[in-house]
Amino acid sequence: MVVTQLPRFHYLVFKNPPPSFKFFPKPKVPIKSTASTLFSAPKSTLSTTEPIPITDFSLPDEPKLEISLDKLFVPPETQVSCDDSSLSTRILKGSNIVLSKYARDAQVVQAEFVKSSVRTEDCPSDGLPEFALVGRSNVGKSSLLNSLVRRKRLALTSKKPGKTQCINHFRINDSWYLVDLPGYGYASAPQELRTDWGKFTKDYFINRSTLVSVFLLIDASIPAKKIDLEYASWLGQNQVPMTLIFTKCDKRKKKKNGGKRPEENVKDFQELICGFFQTVPPWIMTSSVTNQGRDEILLHMAQLRNYWLKH
Q: Which residues, other chains included, contact 160 with Cβ-Cβ below 8 Å and sequence gap of 6+?
A: none
Query: Which position among 5, 37, 143, 278 is part of the footprint of ligand GDP (CB under 6 A)?
Result: 143
Per-residue binding string, ligand GDP, 222-261, x by CB under 6 A, is: -------------------------xx-xx----------
- CA 224 to CA 230: how far, in whole Å? 11
| Residue nearer to ligand GDP on the CB measure, 72 or 214 | 214
Given a contact cutoff of 8 angstroms between Cβ atoms, the answer to whether 110 and 174 are in contact is yes
With b for 16 or more beta-carbon neighbours within 10 A and e for fewer, the 50-83 pattern comes to: ebbbbbebeeeeeeebbbbbbbbbbbbebebebe
- Interface region with ligand GDP, contact rule CB under 6 A, candidates 138-146, 193-201, 255-263, 294-302: 138-146
Rounded to the nearest whole angstrom, what is the least distance from the CB of residue 187 to ligand GDP in the complex?
A: 13
Residue 182 binds ligand GDP, judged by CB under 6 A: no
- CA 14 to CA 236: how far, in whole Å? 9
Rounded to the nearest whole angstrom, what is the least distance from the CB of residue 246 to ligand GDP in the complex?
A: 10
Give the total residue count for the chain. 311
In a 10 Å sphere around its CB, with 0-12 CB exposed, 13-18 middle and 19+ buried, how is residue 307 labelled?
Answer: buried
- The residue of the chain with the least Cβ separation from ligand GDP equals 140
| Residue nearer to ligand GDP on the CB measure, 288 or 303 | 288
- Interface region with ligand GDP, contact rule CB under 6 A, candidates 42-50, 54-62, 65-73, 137-145: 137-145
Query: Which position among 4, 45, 48, 138 is part of the footprint of ligand GDP (CB under 6 A)?
Result: 138
Query: Which position among 33, 68, 96, 142 is part of the footprint of ligand GDP (CB under 6 A)?
Result: 142
> Judging by DSSP bridges, how do beta strands 242-247 and 283-285 pair with one another?
parallel
Query: Which position among 8, 71, 141, 171 is part of the footprint of ligand GDP (CB under 6 A)?
Result: 141
Strand extents, DSSP E, the chain: 2-4, 52-53, 66-67, 79-81, 111-117, 130-135, 167-172, 176-180, 211-219, 242-247, 283-285
Residue 132 binds ligand GDP, judged by CB under 6 A: no
- CA 191 to CA 56: how far, in whole Å? 43
Strand extents, DSSP E, 118-226: 130-135, 167-172, 176-180, 211-219
| Residue nearer to ligand GDP on the CB measure, 30 or 183 | 183
- Interface region with ligand GDP, contact rule CB under 6 A, candidates 28-36, 90-98, 222-230, 285-293: 285-293
Residue 137 binds ligand GDP, judged by CB under 6 A: yes
Residues that bind ligand GDP (CB under 6 A): 135, 137-143, 183, 247-248, 250-251, 287-289
